Amino acid sequence: MKELVVNLNTGLHGDLEVPGDKSISHRSVILSSISEGTSHVHHFLASDDCISTINAFREMGVQIDLDGDELTVTGVGLHGLKEPQTKLDMGNSGTTTRLLSGLLSAQNFTTNLIGDDSLSKRPMKRVSEPLSMMGARIETTDGHLPMTINPGHIKAVKYELPIASAQVKSAIILAALNADADSVVIEPQVTRNHTETMLNQFGKDVIERDGNQIIVHHNPKLTAQDFNVPGDISSAAFFMVAATLVPNSHIVLKNVGINATRTGILDVLIKMGANVKLLNQTNSSEPTADIEVTYTPDLKPIDVTEESIPLMIDELPLVALLASRANGHSHITGAEELRFKETDRIQTVVLELQKLSIQITELSDGFSIDGSKDWRVANSSLDSHGDHRIGMTLAVAALLVDTSVQLDGEDAISISYPQFFDHLKRLCS
């Protein structure tokens, strides 16, 4: 159990470079492994989740060297993976599990995927069912891990996603690389596009987009790349929100990815009247900027609806926290997907924020929140419930109370941000 920083009257100050983007780091391992040649990845996120992806490909015969945040991958080509001699342990990583489900569906060997207790409760039918339509032969345990993927012949498909999910979309795209013809994936709303962007970096015109339709060209030639992973906006978001809410704060977060499919948290902050500026913007395939954030004493309430949820799905606990300090009533709806994350994040956010006497009500698909600055600690034992983003959200919330609080399950934060508490301490010093 970790004692959290509370009542920070001096504010957060300084510059910080947050770790590499988790979504891009995962995909850099996957695509480097199935490319031809040696890829060099800089500013890689060496978190528990991303290490699970590395270990899986090592078990399938890919040489991967990790030195700090520098990754070197000697690719084996699209058809060069080897049968693992053991079960592939996904750890806590839903991204690893779902994306590999697509790629492994097209292999000529059997794989068995396992995970920790939390991951084993997360639904896998959302990927196994569309992949089965493509010819994949997947056996789940009542829709969950453990999962067995047998050799299958992948057929081209035109598939309309029933829900907006970047992981499901990416699983289908990775399977479609090995299909017998080109495939089409249709999104109900645009979701994070790192798989498509990176595929077109590793191969020429692998992906085409026509509105909400994504065309996947089969059997592409993928060639090794040398690239930098931008800072993770989902990690930066915790400090953006902290600096917005804690008096006297002024910080600059360096080299943060601002891919348009990921910037929902910036849109929310701006709509609520926060003092946020983008500096030194780049226009590369994965655009970046330095983000300057200054304390904002009065925030407007906000209504977040289904259309914008995919642009900020991982940041919604933080949006709930922002709304808890706003001047008025806020709603977050259309976010039922939160119930299928590392925890039921709707239930967990409500349970934990109510310990700080925050007026937040659970909805079937989100939250109803009465903003107030009159918080008091009703229960000083906060709990991450094994969910990294809940843990970090509570660490930010603790900065706004004046009574000692503790966080149980703080180890979960290493899943995505091993240096989080060190970086928070640096900005608070």
Instruction: List the catalytic residues.
Output: 314
Question: Is 165 annotated for ligand binding?
Answer: yes
110 contacts 141 by C-beta, under 8 angstroms: no
Question: Is 107 annotated for ligand binding?
Answer: no
Question: Is 135 annotated for ligand binding?
Answer: no
Question: Is 192 annotated for ligand binding?
Answer: no
Cis peptide bond prior to 247, omega within 30° of 0: no
**Both structure tokens of 358:** 């925050």
Question: Is 98 annotated for ligand binding?
Answer: no
**Both structure tokens of 376:** 């008091």
CA dihedral (211, 217, 223, 226) in degrees, to 10, reads: 10
Question: Is 345 annotated for ligand binding?
Answer: yes
Report the distance separating Cα 380 and Cα 396, nearest Å: 14
Cis peptide bond prior to 287, omega within 30° of 0: no
Separation in Å, CA 239 to CA 204, 234, 294, 407: 37, 10, 11, 18
Report the distance separating Cα 39 and Cα 29, nearest Å: 9
Q: What 3-state class would DSSP assign to 85?
A: coil
Give one DSSP letter per residue of 64-80, joined into a string.
Answer: EEEETTEEEEEEE-TT-
Question: Is 82 annotated for ligand binding?
Answer: no
Report the distance separating Cα 370 and Cα 277, nearest Å: 27
Query: What are the phi and psi torsion angles at 295 (to 5°)?
Result: -50, 135
Query: Residue 54: in which H helix or E strand, if any?
Result: helix 48-59
**Both structure tokens of 132:** 């089965």
Q: What 3-state class would DSSP assign to 90?
A: coil
Annotated binding-site positions: 22-23, 27, 94, 122, 165, 167, 314, 341, 345, 389
Annotated binding-site positions for phosphoenolpyruvate: 22, 94, 122, 167, 345, 389
Annotated binding-site positions for 3-phosphoshikimate: 22-23, 27, 165, 167, 314, 341
